[in-house]
């Protein structure tokens, strides 16, 4: 009987560890993003675009605030928060061009992916997402992508290289 109780006790410990690990990993999924960043991208006309982004923890470390600024004058802000009860990341984005977007986090292998709800215009459905990938300590890539209707290939609309400021 004692062996059975020890076995059951060990199983309970294993189960607790197994259920806590994914939540911890999910809750810290955007730790890499915190900091001050220099940004570069290629504009549609082939010129080099530059900007900065500062991501900081706010509200007792429970939320992330983004402060994006492009040399062209485009500015945006986002708030991201992880809800441990639902185990879901959410983000709201606003910018100086009047945009407001609401995102939900989606796991895509080693990539970090925020998606918006599908948009329907003139009978066509568009899906959009932002994808964080090639994540290293001091750099990563970010892509704004879309796919229309039942297309099979995501189209990159904007690709930004992030380099951590020294």
DSSP conformation letters of 20-36: HHHHHHHHTTTGGG-EE
Section 29-47 average pLDDT: 95
Within 10 angstroms of residue 19's Cβ, the number of other Cβ atoms is 9
Flag whether pLDDT at 101 surpasses 60: yes
Distance between the two ends of the chain, CA-based, in angstroms?
61
Domain coordinates in residue numbering, the chain: 2-164
Four-CA torsion 98, 113, 117, 51, nearest 10 degrees: 10
Half-sphere exposure of 112 (CA within 13 A, CB side): 22
Section 86-94 average pLDDT: 93
Instruction: State residue 148's pLDDT score.
Output: 83
Q: State pTM to two decimals.
A: 0.80
CATH topology of domain 2-164: Lipocalin (2.40.128)
- 139-148 pLDDT per residue, tens: 999 999 999 8
Q: Which has the higher per-residue pLDDT, 68 or 9?
A: 68
Flag whether pLDDT at 122 surpasses 90: no
């Amino acid at each position: 009987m004692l062996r059975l109780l020890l076995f059951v006790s060990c199983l309970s410990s294993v189960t607790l560890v197994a259920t806590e690990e994914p939540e911890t990993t999910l809750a810290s999924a955007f730790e890499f993003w915190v900091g001050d960043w220099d940004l570069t991208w290629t504009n549609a006309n082939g010129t080099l675009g530059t900007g900065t982004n500062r991501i900081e923890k706010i509200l007792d470390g429970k939320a992330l605030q983004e402060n994006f600024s492009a040399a062209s004058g485009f500015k945006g802000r986002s708030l991201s928060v992880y809800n441990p009860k639902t185990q879901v990341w959410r983000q709201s984005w606003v910018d100086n061009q009047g945009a407001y977007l609401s995102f939900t986090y989606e796991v895509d292998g080693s990539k970090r992916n925020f998606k918006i709800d599908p948009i329907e215009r003139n009978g066509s459905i568009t899906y959009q997402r932002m994808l964080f990938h090639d994540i290293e300590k001091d750099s990563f890539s970010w892509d704004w992508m879309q796919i229309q209707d039942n297309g099979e290939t995501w189209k990159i609309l904007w690709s930004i290289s992030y380099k951590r400021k020294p």
